[in-house]
């Protein structure tokens, strides 16, 4: 496979599979549309997170109740999440000149900065809800650009639309002249190359070891700017493994060799770099492989680890629970369709 000189080689290392796998496996949001029927100005209500403020909670509530202004709502959400629904909603309302009232309630979300692409999904979901309610038609790629997502990869954007196994081709150097993560890049999502159905008979295990700190924001920027571009030989190895091994094994539904390809991808390219910068995931990955996993990978910068399994090695679930804790393991299926808006 010839790597085009006019495209950033980093994306060939990351975006085809390793970052995308856990996003697709975990499933795209099933969203309920919650729209205020009253004709009121734009009013995006920010949910107040009540985290470790027991001493001050009653005083805060009393100050709201005792105010002279009577037309208010108090929404408190004890979820500890760090999603950016509010800022995205404000941005879309401004860019698209939307004047209807919206009340957002996130019923369930996976943790931010965990390697599952939550930032892209919540952002594009919010944008879709607002624009479709307003009768505006935008592609997910355009919406991702509006809300500042997809600057490294198109995987999250196209998984949002299509589900399944996604392959993208990176960015043109004209579109993205430097190496930056999505959070710091203004480039549009990369171009979709291919999309395949993921075998529905395969199960997927996600394990999230407990860590004190995850890689995000300026730390990610520093890694990209310090270590990129990766050597072209590394990129070529990743491309060969994906095109000549991973994809054929996927289409042939050869789960054992598919798992082997996952394992091999941990030894080259950006995954190799990630493990060199933070190696404390490696013992857990090796323990999962020793317990019968066909091959264990890390999604993005972690901490989420993933593997595929079937009836022949289903004991891997118990082994994972013993390694990282039952509440930090999820068994799921790939989702072979895109987002759903339920009215």
What is the distance in angstroms between the CA of the first residue and the CA of the last residue of the chain? 45
Name the H helices within 215-254. Answer: 218-227, 232-241, 247-251
Stated as kind and residue range, the H or E segment containing 256 is helix 255-265
* Best mean pLDDT range from 136-145, 167-176, 180-189: 136-145
Q: Reading across the β-sheet that carries 305-309, which strands appear in turn?
A: 297-298, 305-309, 203-207, 329-332
DSSP category for residue 195 = E
- Residue 70 has a pLDDT of 60
* E strand segments, the chain: 30-32, 48-49, 76-77, 165-168, 192-196, 203-207, 297-298, 305-309, 329-332, 340-342
Query: The tokens of 81 are what?
Result: 């999440």
Name the H helices within 45-154. Answer: 54-65, 85-95, 118-133, 140-146
- Residue 93 has a pLDDT of 84
- For residue 277, is pLDDT > 90? no
Query: The tokens of 268 are what?
Result: 């080259």
Phi-psi region of 274 (alpha: psi -120 to 50; beta: other; left: phi over 0): alpha
The residues, any chain, with a CB within 8 Å of residue 68's CB and separated by 6 or more, are none
62: confidence class by pLDDT, cuts 50, 70, 90: low
- The structure tokens 């198109």 sit at 154
- Residue 64 has a pLDDT of 57
- Residue 82 has a pLDDT of 46
* Phi, psi at 146, each rounded to 5°: -60, -40
Question: Model's pTM, two decimal places?
Answer: 0.74
β-pairing, 203-207 vs 76-77, is unpaired
């Amino acid at each position: 496979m010839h790597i085009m000189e006019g495209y950033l080689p980093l994306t060939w290392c990351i975006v085809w599979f390793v970052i995308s796998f856990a996003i697709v496996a975990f499933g795209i949001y099933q969203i309920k549309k919650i729209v205020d029927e009253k004709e009121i100005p734009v009013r995006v209500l920010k949910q107040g997170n009540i985290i470790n403020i027991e001493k001050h909670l009653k005083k805060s509530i009393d100050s709201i109740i005792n105010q002279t202004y009577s037309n208010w709502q108090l929404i408190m959400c004890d979820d500890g999440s760090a999603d950016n629904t509010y800022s995205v909603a404000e941005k879309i309302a401004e860019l698209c000149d939307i004047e209807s009232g919206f009340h957002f309630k996130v019923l369930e979300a996976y943790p931010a900065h965990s390697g599952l692409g939550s930032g892209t999904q919540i952002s594009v979901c919010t944008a879709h809800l607002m624009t479709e309610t307003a009768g505006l038609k935008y592609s997910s790629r355009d919406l991702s650009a509006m809300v500042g997502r997809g600057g490294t990869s198109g995987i999250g954007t196209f998984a949002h639309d299509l589900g399944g196994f996604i392959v993208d081709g990176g960015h043109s150097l004209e579109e993205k002249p430097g190496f930056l993560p999505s959070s710091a890049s203004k480039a549009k999502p990369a171009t979709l190359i291919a999309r395949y159905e993921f075998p529905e008979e395969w199960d997927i295990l996600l394990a999230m070891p407990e860590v004190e700190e995850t890689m995000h924001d300026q730390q990610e920027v520093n890694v990209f700017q310090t270590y990129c571009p990766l050597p072209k030989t590394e990129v070529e190895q990743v491309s060969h493994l994906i095109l000549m091994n991973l994809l054929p094994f996927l289409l042939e539904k050869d789960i054992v060799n598919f798992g082997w390809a996952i394992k091999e991808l941990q030894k080259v390219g950006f995954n190799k770099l990630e493990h060199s910068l933070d190696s404390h995931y490696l013992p857990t990955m090796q323990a999962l492989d020793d317990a019968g996993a066909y091959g264990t990978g890390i999604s993005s910068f972690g901490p989420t680890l993933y593997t595929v399994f079937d009836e022949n090695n289903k004991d891997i679930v118990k082994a994972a629970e013993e390694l990282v804790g039952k509440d930090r393991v999820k068994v799921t299926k790939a989702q072979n369709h895109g987002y759903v808006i339920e009215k």
